[in-house]
């Protein structure tokens, strides 16, 4: 007799382990095994010690009263009064107090121009015209002596406007030099290749500070008798030549990444050398290296802090200028440093995020 088979459902499988949410995340990322747990405990311990102390110093016991006596009171943490008291001197350097709207407007214009240059919609030949107009306005506003503005000589320029102007102008002016040098290093003509290689290796082999010393001490000797060039222009020239060497290497990297077929296709179409470079190779190569160019600019932006050593008072230098001579505020230099650190960080961090974003944008054509 056949056995009757009674249908029995298999026991339900356990629900899948929850992998989302805070607790599973912590389990996987903080307490996965004993090593991880120990690390978590140590790091948490350090953070729990450092962060409350920092908050205590920077916010809870801090004072923002622009009065050095308030800072000397016992139990007071950070003395942000040094910033509220001196911020105009730190940001604008020795620019005359009453005229400080001029560097403000000029810098905002320049910043707007930089933002526009970072937008792909503006990447056409009109941007060059825009640059000439805005940079002209910048110098007119800063230097004055036109439209009834009083004259402010360059030795009184300083602070953030100088930092932004030096970095952006030297970057833009180095661009044509860099393209020429990058093409020169790949040229078939040995003499031109040698000159370009020597230039790039020479500049990249020495620190920026020696280039600035050269601009500051040797440049006046280079000029013919009776010709004097303003120190700011000399430093700008030095920065430009320095940036051009680094930029040339970036652009050369882009040129090298171009497949040979592009040049051959252009040659078979009968294009000349310059037509090939400007219509075929450079547009592709430059688009490829835009992120590196932005990174280069970040480096240059940070490097402008060095011009303080040859007595141009950009942001770092103007902080020293504001505090070194003032016995009341000198002890609170650390707070001043924190302030300009935040400014530098904000600019550089924003640019590095932009670099990541633009990298995705320019690579879009390669993704399918």
Residues of the shown chain interacting with another protein in the complex, contacts defined by CB under 8 A: 25, 29-30, 32-33, 36, 39-40, 43-44, 188-192, 195, 201-202, 204-210, 213-214, 217-218, 220-225, 298, 302-303, 305-306, 308-309, 316, 331, 333-334, 337, 340-341, 344-345, 348-349, 352
Q: Tell me the closest approach of the beta carbon of residue 352 to another protein, in angstroms.
A: 7
Residue 94 or 333 with smaller CB distance to another protein: 333
According to DSSP, residue 276 is labeled: I
Residue 53 or 210 with smaller CB distance to another protein: 210
Q: Tell me the closest approach of the beta carbon of residue 105 to another protein, in angstroms.
A: 26
Residue 131 or 301 with smaller CB distance to another protein: 301
Closest CA to 80 of 90, 97, 68, 92: 68
Residue 188 or 367 with smaller CB distance to another protein: 188
Alpha-carbon distance of 304 to 344, in angstroms, equals 11
Q: Tell me the closest approach of the beta carbon of residue 137 to another protein, in angstroms.
A: 28
Q: Tell me the closest approach of the beta carbon of residue 37 to another protein, in angstroms.
A: 9
- How far apart are the two ends of the chain, measured CA to CA in Å? 66
Q: Tell me the closest approach of the beta carbon of residue 27 to another protein, in angstroms.
A: 11
On whether the CB atoms of residues 300 and 244 are closer than 8 A, the answer is no
Residue 130 or 180 with smaller CB distance to another protein: 180
On whether the CB atoms of residues 139 and 105 are closer than 8 A, the answer is no
Residue 30 or 140 with smaller CB distance to another protein: 30
Interhelix angle 81-92/159-185, rounded to 10 degrees, is 50
What are residue 314's phi and psi, to 5 degrees? -75, -170
Complete DSSP assignment for 221-269: HHSPTT----HHHHHHHHHHHHHHHHHHHHHHHHHHTS-HHHHHHHHHT
Residue 36 or 63 with smaller CB distance to another protein: 36
Place of tokens 């809870």: 60
Q: State the DSSP H helix or E strand holding residue 160, giving kind and residue range, or none if neither.
A: helix 159-185
In this structure, how many other beta carbons lie within 10 angstroms of the beta carbon of residue 322?
25
Q: Tell me the closest approach of the beta carbon of residue 242 to another protein, in angstroms.
A: 11
Q: Tell me the closest approach of the beta carbon of residue 34 to another protein, in angstroms.
A: 12
């Amino acid at each position: 007799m056949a056995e009757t088979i009674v249908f029995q459902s298999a026991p339900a499988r356990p629900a899948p382990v929850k992998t989302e949410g805070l607790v599973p995340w912590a389990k996987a990322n903080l307490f996965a095994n004993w090593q991880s747990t120990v690390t978590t405990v140590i790091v948490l311990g350090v953070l729990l010690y450092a962060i409350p102390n920092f908050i205590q110093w920077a916010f809870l016991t801090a004072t923002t009263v622009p009065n050095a006596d308030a800072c000397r009171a016992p139990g007071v943490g950070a003395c942000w009064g040094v910033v509220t008291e001196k911020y105009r001197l730190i940001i604008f350097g020795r620019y005359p107090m009453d005229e400080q709207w001029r560097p403000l407007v000029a810098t905002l214009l320049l910043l707007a121009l930089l933002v526009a240059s970072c937008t792909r919609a503006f990447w056409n030949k009109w941007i060059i015209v825009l640059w000439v107009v805005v940079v002209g306005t910048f110098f007119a506003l800063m230097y004055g002596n036109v439209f009834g503005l009083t004259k402010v000589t360059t030795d009184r320029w300083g602070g953030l406007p100088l930092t932004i102007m030096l970095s952006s102008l030297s970057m833009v002016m180095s661009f044509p030099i860099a393209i020429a040098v990058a093409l020169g290093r790949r040229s078939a003509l040995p003499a031109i290749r040698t000159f370009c290689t020597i230039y790039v290796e020479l500049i990249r082999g020495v620190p920026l500070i020696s280039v600035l010393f050269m601009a500051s001490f040797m440049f006046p000797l280079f000029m013919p008798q009776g010709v004097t060039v303003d120190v700011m222009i000399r430093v700008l020239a030095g920065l430009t030549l320095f940036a051009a060497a680094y930029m040339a290497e970036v652009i050369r990297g882009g040129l090298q990444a171009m497949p040979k077929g592009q040049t051959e296709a252009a040659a078979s179409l009968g294009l000349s050398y310059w037509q090939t470079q400007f219509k075929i190779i450079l547009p592709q190569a430059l688009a490829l290296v835009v992120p590196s160019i932005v990174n280069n600019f970040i480096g240059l932006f940070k490097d402008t802090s060095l011009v303080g050593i040859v007595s141009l008072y950009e942001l770092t230098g103007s902080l020293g200028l504001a505090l070194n001579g003032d016995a009341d505020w000198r002890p609170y230099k650390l707070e001043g440093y924190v302030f300009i650190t935040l400014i530098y960080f904000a600019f550089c961090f924003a640019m590095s995020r932009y670099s990541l974003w633009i990298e995705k944008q320019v690579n879009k054509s390669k993704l399918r």
